Amino acid sequence: MVTHTRLQYYKHNYCLLCITGSLGCRWHRYRQSARNSRKKDLIILVILLITFIYMAFYLYFWLAAENDSNDFNWYFTVKLKLKYLPWYTIMLSITGVVFGYFAILVGLSIYNIYVRHQLNIHPFHVAVIIFTLLNCIGFTIALDILWTYEWVVLRLSLLIFGPFIHIGLVVIFTILSCILIRQWYSLDQFCLKLLTAVAYMAILVGLYIIPLFIDSPCVRPADSLPSRPRLFAHRGASGVAPENTLVAFQLAANQSVYGFESDVRISLDGIPFILHDKTLRRTTNIEEVYPDRVDDDASTFTFDELRKLNAGSWFLKEDPMDVVGSLTDKTKEIYNNQTIMSLEELIDLANLTGKNIFIDVQIPVKENPYYHTAYKKAVDVILNTGILPKQIWWFPKIYHSINTTNFTQTGTSYLPVEDLIKLHISNFNARYDTLSEVEILEYLESNITINVYIVNAHWLYSLYWCLGVQSVATDRCHILNKIEKPLWHLTPGTYLMTWVLVDIISAIIIITILIVQWIRLLRTRFNPEPISLHSQQSMITLTDQYHSNSRTMKEKLLFTADQPEEDILEATEGVSNDHIDSPTHHYTNTAANSVVIRVPQ
C-alpha cells in the first residue's frame, strides 16, 4: 500500500533552510514542512521560553551582584578551600554565553512561527534546555541557603533600573505583537481566541502600569537632590592595595575619604592589631613561615610572631582586584614589604590625616588571656594616642564604659528613634540589607547619620545618594571618589511624561498592527478573483508538470515497510487518496491553498 503526503512546492529559500537546519537539523528541502507544529514541539517551546526567562533573570542577577564580587570570589577560596580564581567573572561569562545560546534558539523558534513553518527542535537542544532548567532551579535553592542577602541587592537594583526595564519590556512586547496578532487571527476556535486575547491584554496592561509599583528615590525634584555621600575606606583602599596594611590606608587618605574602617583583634600578648579574618591563611604567607599553624586563630600568636608575616605578597600573587598588571615595579616592591599593622599605627595615621575611624573589636579565643578584657585593651590604646574622641565611631551595644562616652556612639541594629535618642546614639552603621528605605528615611528625618556598607557598585552608590545617606563604606574609594552625580536623576514631571509617552507609542503601534493584519485577512477571504486565477494557473502548471514528469514538484512516498505507523499517520494527515488504481486519480487536500487535479489515464 502506498500513501501520499500533501503536494509541496520548493523554492530556494536559503535563509529558511539555515534556520530550519540550526533549530531542528533539517538541512534538506524535502524535510521541511508547512504543517502545523506538533503538541510535543509546542510544549518544548514553552519550556524553552521558561528557561530563557530564567537565564535572563540570572544574567541580570549577576550584573547586579557585581557589588559583592570580591566576597563571592573569596567564598569559594576560603570556605571551599579552592584555588583563588575570579569565580564571579567565570559565573557571569558562563551565564552570558548560555543566555546568548537560548536567545538564538528563541529567535529561531519565533521566526519559524512567523513564516508558519513547522516547529522542530532537535533533541540535542531539548536536552540542553532541560539540563539548564534543572541547574537553574538547583542554583536558586543553593543561593537562597548560602547567599540569602543577595536577594536584597536584586530588589534594591530594581529601584535604580526598574524604569529602564519597564521601557525595555514594553519595546520587546510591542515588537512581538506583530507575530502574536498574526497568529491570533489564524486561530479557528472562538474560545481559544477569546482566552488568548484576554491573556494578551492582561500582560499588556500590566506592562503599562509597572511604574506605579516602582518608587525610585532618583525620581525627585531637581533642587532636592541630597549631598554626595562621604566615603569610609573599608580595610583601607583594598580595591588597589593589600587590605588592612599601612599602604592601603595611606592610599585611602590620599583619596580624600571621610574615614577608615577596620576590624581589630588582640594578640596573645595583649596588643590590638588590624586583621579581618579569624585566621592568617588568606592575607599572609603563613604557609611559608608557620606551616603547622595555618588554620590557628590569629589571637593565638604574639605580636612579634605576627610581624614576621608578609601581609602584601598575597595581593601580588592572587591579584583579587585585577590591578597588579597596572602597578609599577616600585609599587609592587612596597606592597611586597607590608606587615600586619597595630591599632596604634592606624590611629596615629587617622590622627595625622584628620580622618574618622570605625573600630570593630573582635573577641579572641578563650585561650587568650585577654578574652574578657579585649575591648578595654582597645580603648586604652585609643585613649593613649591622643586622637579626638569624636573621630572614633564606637558601638556601645558591644561595649560601653565611662571612657567611651565621648566617642561617636554608633548603632548597629534597628531600634526606634526614641530608643536611639535615649542611648545617645546619633550615628547608625548598617549593611545594605539591614535597613529598609522607609527606616532610612525615618532615621534621616530624626537627624541620625547613616553609614551603609559595603557599597562598591556605581548604581548602589547612586541609590544611597538619592536616598540621602550621609556616608558609605567601600572597597573602591578610588572609583567612587570620582563620581560627581548619580547614575540618573529625573524630576517627577519628566519621569511621568516619559512613562506615558512610551505607553502611548506602544499602544499606537499595536493598534496599527491589529488593523493591518485585519485588512490583510479580509483581502485573503473576500477577494475570489485572484484566488480563482491563481488556482487556474496552478492547475495548468501542475498538469503540465505531471505529464512532463518534472522533478520541480516532489511527491513524498511513504512506505509502510520503511516507516513507523505513527509517522505515516502524521504524514497523511489532511490527505485522502481515493481509488489509486481507478481510471481517474484524485489528489485531495483539505488545506486552504489546495488544488484538486484530475488527470485522465
pLDDT (average), residues 383-410: 82
Q: How far apart are CA 308 and CA 572, in angstroms?
A: 85
pLDDT (average), residues 427-443: 90
Q: How far apart are CA 597 and CA 539, in angstroms?
A: 7
> What's the CATH fold of domain 230-481?
TIM Barrel (3.20.20)
| Helix/strand/coil for 100 | helix
Has residue 198 got a pLDDT over 90?
Answer: yes
Residue 35 grid coordinates: 504543517
Of residues 22 and 550, more confidence is placed in 22
Q: Confidence band (pLDDT; 50, 70, 90) for 532?
A: very low
Amino acid at the residue 543: T
Has residue 314 got a pLDDT over 70?
Answer: yes
Amino acid at the residue 442: E
Instruction: Look at the alpha carbons of 217, 219, 225, 228 in this order and tell me if their dihedral is positive or negative.
Output: positive
Q: How far apart are CA 462 and CA 486, in angstroms?
A: 4
Q: How far apart are CA 553 and CA 5, in angstroms?
A: 12
The angle at the Cα of 387, spanning 273 to 280, to the nearest 5 degrees, equals: 10
Cβ proximity of 389 and 407 under 8 Å: yes
In the beta sheet, which residues pair with residue 558? 3
> Of 420, 437, 419, nearest to 428 (Cα)?
420
Predicted confidence at residue 561, as pLDDT, reads 40
Q: Confidence band (pLDDT; 50, 70, 90) for 533?
A: very low
Q: How far apart are CA 26 and CA 435, in angstroms?
A: 56
Residue 327 grid coordinates: 602597578
| Helix/strand/coil for 537 | helix
Predicted confidence at residue 585, as pLDDT, reads 41
pLDDT (average), residues 398-417: 79
Contacting residues for 399 by C-beta, under 8 A, at least 6 apart = 361, 375, 376, 379
Predicted confidence at residue 27, as pLDDT, reads 65
Q: Confidence band (pLDDT; 50, 70, 90) for 595?
A: very low
Q: How far apart are CA 440 and CA 468, in angstroms?
A: 9
Contacting residues for 77 by C-beta, under 8 A, at least 6 apart = 83, 84, 85, 87, 282
| Helix/strand/coil for 573 | coil
> Of 469, 42, 583, nearest to 225 (Cα)?
469
Cα-Cα-Cα-Cα torsion 322, 328, 332, 334, nearest 10 degrees, comes to -130
Has residue 550 got a pLDDT over 90?
Answer: no
pLDDT (average), residues 103-107: 93
Has residue 11 got a pLDDT over 60?
Answer: no
Q: How far apart are CA 598 and CA 587, in angstroms?
A: 8
**In angstroms, how far apart are the furthest CA atoms of the chain?**
117
Has residue 551 got a pLDDT over 90?
Answer: no
Residue 70 grid coordinates: 570580591
Has residue 524 got a pLDDT over 80?
Answer: no
What is the share, in percent, of the chain residues with pLDDT greater than 70?
81
Q: How far apart are CA 178 and CA 171, in angstroms?
A: 12
Half-sphere exposure of 259 (CA within 13 A, CB side): 19
> Of 571, 441, 431, nearest to 38 (Cα)?
571
Counting every residue written for the chain, the total comes to 601
Residue 372 grid coordinates: 574578657
Residue 232 grid coordinates: 569610609
Cβ proximity of 471 and 252 under 8 Å: no
Q: Confidence band (pLDDT; 50, 70, 90) for 599?
A: very low
Q: Where are the domains of the chain?
A: 34-147, 155-214+491-523, 230-481
pLDDT (average), residues 259-273: 95
Q: How far apart are CA 296 and CA 284, in angstroms?
A: 13
pLDDT digits (tens, 9 = 90+) for 145-191: 888 888 999 999 999 999 999 999 999 999 999 888 888 888 888 88
Per-position DSSP letters for 449-490, written without gaps between them:
EEEEE---SHHHHHHHHHHT--EEEES-HHHHTT--S-S--B
On the question of a cis peptide bond just before residue 90, with omega within 30 degrees of 0, the verdict is no
Q: H helices within 216-342, ranges in order?
A: 246-254, 286-289, 303-307, 313-318, 329-336
Amino acid at the residue 140: T
pLDDT (average), residues 311-325: 92
Q: How far apart are CA 584 and CA 578, in angstroms?
A: 9
Q: How far apart are CA 196 and CA 208, in angstroms?
A: 18
DSSP assigned state of 559:
E
- Supply the pTM of this predicted model: 0.81
End-to-end CA distance of the chain: 20
pLDDT (average), residues 528-537: 48
pLDDT digits (tens, 9 = 90+) for 279-303: 999 999 999 999 999 999 999 999 9
Select the highest-mean-pLDDT range: 33-37, 62-66, 399-403: 62-66
> Of 156, 100, 164, nearest to 128 (Cα)?
100
pLDDT digits (tens, 9 = 90+) for 467-519: 999 999 999 999 999 999 999 999 999 999 999 999 999 999 999 999 998 88
Predicted confidence at residue 154, as pLDDT, reads 92
Q: How far apart are CA 390 and CA 488, in angstroms?
A: 35
Has residue 536 got a pLDDT over 70?
Answer: no
Q: Confidence band (pLDDT; 50, 70, 90) for 195?
A: very high
> Of 468, 464, 466, 470, nearest to 490 (Cα)?
466
Predicted confidence at residue 268, as pLDDT, reads 95
Q: Confidence band (pLDDT; 50, 70, 90) for 553?
A: very low
* Residue 540, burial from CB neighbour count under 10 angstroms (0-12, 13-18, 19+): exposed
Has residue 4 got a pLDDT over 80?
Answer: no
Q: How far apart are CA 274 and CA 96, in angstroms?
A: 39
Has residue 593 got a pLDDT over 50?
Answer: no
Predicted confidence at residue 584, as pLDDT, reads 40
Q: What is the 3-state secondary structure (H, E, C) of 122-181?
A: CHHHHHHHHHHHHHHHHHHHHHHHHCCCHHHHHHHHHHHHHHHHHHHHHHHHHHHHHHHH
Tell me which H or E stretch contains 583: none
pLDDT (average), residues 458-464: 95
Predicted confidence at residue 582, as pLDDT, reads 40
Predicted confidence at residue 548, as pLDDT, reads 45
pLDDT (average), residues 231-242: 95
